[in-house]
């Protein structure tokens, strides 16, 4: 049994999820993602939207075999902690990658993918995933 995704939730988070929009703290200058109401580093609420760099490295990752029903057709699911080129950390799926290609330090770039299928009757959750940078087809390395 797979639950429907909430249309309200998909709608509310669409801009950060579609465009990799994070927040910059006007007090301490640090970036964070996904956007929060207060800076996770200094607590300031004086924040502004910022388009984050689309490339970075895999800082660590995990390969999940025991996935929920919603993701069973995609197993195993690879989740990475990606450190973007400005230092911002993003937790996101890693895609178009074979398990033996995965390594800490691997350069990756953001790609727009179908992250959550939900059930067959509900909305689709699109968002960001990261893929290994393959130089000739990279949008960020040129």
Partner 1 sequence: MKSVGIVGWGAYIPLYRIAVDEIAKMWGIDPFLAKALGMYEKAVGGLDEDAVTIGVEAAMNALQRAKIKPDSIGAVFFGTESKPYAVKPSATIVAEVLGITPNTMASDLEFACRAASEGLRAAFALVESGQIDYGLVIGADTAQANPGDVLELTASSGGAAFIVGPSSESVAILEGVFTFITDTPDFWRREGVPYPFHGEGFTGDPAYFHHIIGAVEGLMKKLGLSPNDFDYAIFHQPNGKFPLVVGKRLGFSREKIIPSLVTPYAGNTYNGSALLGFARVLENVAKPGDRILVAPFGSGAGSDAFSFIVTDKLEERKKLAPTVDDYLSNKKIISYSEYARMRQLIKIVR
Q: Point out which residues bind Zn ion (CB under 5 A).
A: 25, 27-28, 39, 41-42, 44
Characterise 34 by phi-psi region: left (phi > 0), alpha (psi -120 to 50), beta (else): beta
> Which of 77, 78, 72 shows the shortest CA–CA distance to 119?
72
| 3-state SS, residue 9 | helix
Alpha carbons 52 and 60: distance in angstroms, whole number: 19
Q: Is 13 in the site for partner 1 (CB under 8 A)?
A: no
Closest CA to 20 of 119, 120, 89: 89
Binding piece for partner 1, criterion CB under 8 A, among 23-31, 40-48, 82-90, 134-142 = 134-142
CA nearest 45: which of 56, 32, 62, 58? 32
CB-based contact 70:2 (threshold 8 Å): yes
Residue 4 binding partner 1, by CB under 8 A:
no
Helix (H, G, I), strand (E, B) or coil at 59: strand
Least separation in angstroms between residue 25's CB and partner 1 is 23
> Using CB distances below 5 to 8 A depending on partner kind, what does residue 12 bind out of Zn ion, partner 1, none?
none
**Which one of residues 43, 49, 62, 69 is an interface residue with partner 1 (CB under 8 A)?**
69
Q: Which is nearer to Zn ion, 40 or 76 (CB)?
A: 40
* Span of 24-32, 36-44, 56-64, 90-98 interacting with partner 1 by CB under 8 A: 90-98
Q: Does 96 bind partner 1 (CB under 8 A)?
A: yes
- Site for partner 1, rule CB under 8 A: 1-2, 14-15, 18-19, 69-70, 72-74, 93, 95-96, 98, 111-115, 119-120, 124, 126, 129, 134, 136-139, 142
């Amino acid at each position: 049994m797979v639950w429907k995704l909430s249309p309200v939730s998909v709608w509310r988070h669409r801009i950060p999820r579609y465009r990799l929009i994070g927040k910059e703290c006007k007090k301490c200058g640090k970036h964070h993602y996904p956007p929060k109401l207060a800076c996770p580093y200094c607590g300031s609420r004086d924040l502004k939207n910022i388009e984050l760099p689309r490339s970075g490295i895999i800082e660590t990752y995990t390969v999940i075999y025991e996935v929920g029903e919603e993701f069973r057709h995609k197993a195993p699911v690879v989740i990475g902690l990606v450190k973007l080129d400005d230092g911002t950390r993003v937790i996101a799926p890693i895609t178009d990658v074979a398990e033996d290609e995965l390594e800490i330090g691997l350069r990756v770039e953001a790609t727009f993918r179908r992250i959550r299928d939900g059930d067959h009757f509900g909305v689709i959750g699109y968002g960001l995933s990261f893929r290994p940078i393959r130089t000739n087809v990279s949008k960020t390395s040129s």
